Amino acid sequence: MNMEFIPALRGSFNLNDYENAVEHFDWSEVEAKFSWFKTGKINIVHEAIDRHALSTKKDKVALYYKDEYRKEQFTFKEMMEMTNKAGNMFKKFNVLKGDRVFIYTPRSPEMYFCLLGAIKVGAIVGPLFEAFMDAAVYDRLNDSEAKILVTTPELVSRVPLEKLPKLEKIVLVGDEIEETDQIVSFNKHFEEASDELEIEWMDREDGMLLHYTSGSTGKPKGVLHVHNAMIQQYQTAQWVLDLNEDDIYWCTADPGWVTGTVYGVFGPWLNGVTNVVRGGRFNPNDWYQTIEDYSVTVWYSAPTAFRMLMGIGEELTQKFNLKSLRHILSVGEPLNPEVVRWGLRVFNLRIHDTWWMTETGAMMVCNYPCLNIKPGSMGKPIPGIEAAIIDDNGNVLPPNRMGNLALKMGWPSMMRSIWNNPNKYKEYFTHNGWYISGDSAYMDEDGYFWFQGRIDDVINTSGERVGPFEVESKLVEHPAIAEAGVIGIPDPVQGMRIKAFISLREGYTPTSDLEEEIRLFVKEELSAHAVPKKIEFKEKLPKTRSGKIMRRVLKAWELDLPTGDLSTMED
């Protein structure tokens, strides 16, 4: 048993409040803070932007944006005007309540204007990570029947427009372009649009955000979130991110992933806090520079990034003034105790692990400022959340027993459906009243949760969820490949790396050129993060009699473990 712990901080949510909240807290207490309390109607962007723009906070900086080429800032009032303009632009393109507007651009202020502007007019926004390639983009736009796509002249070449009859308009952000009926210029229409908008008032249960994520079988699934999620997004940003009036907050995640929307947009802005966005790729110098330039106080990032920073060495941190930092958090993958110790050494701060998922819509199990941290543990359930370890029959297990990490249904930010796929949605609820996360974990005698792994075959590489089925399906589209099985293998920096076992069709021989070609094929069709870093060619792959590749056996081969029960394997 791990006995090490790092004592609590003071934070604005103190241990008394916490203990009291665990006993008595009810989400309805938070509801009273929003306007639906009076009107019954809501729009998350009103609460995140306009509410502050119409208050004494109007001239406070909402967004600091910086990348290699641009350095800009926008007050809450300016954000209201910009998102109004974007909203009016979408209205002109006939966006109606419930329509899907997808945003497929690198980070830029315009991305944030469009994301929020579209929600303002009642649309459901689908953010797409810029590294997605043709097939990945197609699957998502097709499944969601997107009406509008905001993208750039560079990225639009990856969108198979001819196969997407439902897509009415492509809005290109960037250089001047020659417009057609379908392809229009963001600059032009945004410029022309009024900065006053009649916001669309929504019901709490109306959709606002559609994030595609991977499971172990089937195509990526569209996780739908509703305006009601704001209750928990707002509250966790206070309790766990510990955001206060004067904080300068930086979340490093891209809005293509759920952390980048929920805590890169809504968490801070629902609380009226100044938000920093650093565009461009990970680069240690730029990252430390960002903390120094903006005097960042609260920093939310991911284990892979911390491990990369740790790998570069501590000398680099001495070249920057990082004294403004007061609170650091992590999400997306297991946070190694070693990284927590590194954080204590170089920042003199604890790194607070937080656990949640695309599906949960907000944080669930966390380390708060007021809790002692046990390095390696994800912390405890937040007030209002009941988490437990259950066995495969739905029985709650006692402490220190490993099982399914499950959550009692009924939290505000829970996904409301899987787009177009009610059966997939049902798969999460195999045990009465419990949401089954797919993670395995145990809870210790003090109520701390310890992540053990995924129960399914989902691969978490650098905090990005990759479905093995999606990669396998792509691989077998390559002319040389007969069969493919994909698993995650442990990696010290990325958490996991993707490995593909491949059997070739007759007439093909395994060569390093072919290996490279296969990697490029996946990269160009799906995305860089889905590329198998390791490929091993095999004569034959282990399959069940019904023809399913047995990833369990592949894992056992890889890790030199016993292969277990092989009774279902074909001869």
Binding residues (CB under 6 A) for ligand PRX: these are 213, 258-259, 331-334, 353-358, 378, 437-439, 451, 454, 460, 465
| Min dist. Cβ of residue 211 to ligand PRX (A) | 8
Nearer to ligand PRX, 227 or 465 (CB): 465
| Min dist. Cβ of residue 47 to ligand PRX (A) | 22
Letter string b/e over residues 69-92, b meaning 16 or more CB atoms within 10 A of that residue's CB: eeeeebbbbbbbbbbbbbbbbbbe
| Min dist. Cβ of residue 346 to ligand PRX (A) | 21
Closest among 492, 462, 454, 449 to 336, alpha carbons compared: 492
The helix/strand count (H/E) of the chain reads as 20, 26
| Min dist. Cβ of residue 451 to ligand PRX (A) | 4
What is the Cα 344 distance to its own chain's centre? 26
Residues 303, 335: contact at Cβ < 8 Å? Answer: yes
192: how many CB neighbours lie within 10 A of its CB?
11
Nearer to ligand PRX, 273 or 415 (CB): 415
| Min dist. Cβ of residue 541 to ligand PRX (A) | 25
| Min dist. Cβ of residue 235 to ligand PRX (A) | 16
| Min dist. Cβ of residue 318 to ligand PRX (A) | 29
Nearer to ligand PRX, 274 or 437 (CB): 437
Query: What's the CA gap between 394 and 348, in Å, rounded?
Result: 42
CA 385 to each of CA 47, 406, 447, 504: distance values in angstroms, whole numbers, following the listed order: 23, 11, 13, 49
Closest among 78, 89, 152, 141 to 120, alpha carbons compared: 89
Residue nearest to ligand PRX (CB): 358
Q: Kindly tell me the burial class for residue 547, based on how many C-beta atoms sit within 10 Å of its own C-beta (0-12, 13-18, 19 or more).
A: exposed
Residues 138, 308: contact at Cβ < 8 Å? Answer: no
| Min dist. Cβ of residue 134 to ligand PRX (A) | 22
| Min dist. Cβ of residue 249 to ligand PRX (A) | 17
Which residues does residue 502 pair with via DSSP β-bridges, in sequence order?
484, 537
| 3-state secondary structure string across 497-560 | EEEEEEEECCCCCCCHHHHHHHHHHHHHHCEHHHCCCEEEECCCCCEECCCCECHHHHHHHHHC
| Min dist. Cβ of residue 133 to ligand PRX (A) | 19
Nearer to ligand PRX, 49 or 486 (CB): 486
Mention every residue, 6+ apart, whose C-beta is less than 8 A from residue 503: 481, 482, 483, 484, 537, 538, 539, 540, 541
Length of the chain: 571
Closest among 138, 277, 224 to 418, alpha carbons compared: 224
Nearer to ligand PRX, 228 or 354 (CB): 354
Nearer to ligand PRX, 84 or 358 (CB): 358
What is the SS3 assignment for 474? helix
Residues 564, 552: contact at Cβ < 8 Å? Answer: yes
Evaluated on CA atoms 144, 149, 151, 153, the torsion sign reads positive
| Min dist. Cβ of residue 259 to ligand PRX (A) | 5
Structure token pair of residue 438: 């797919």
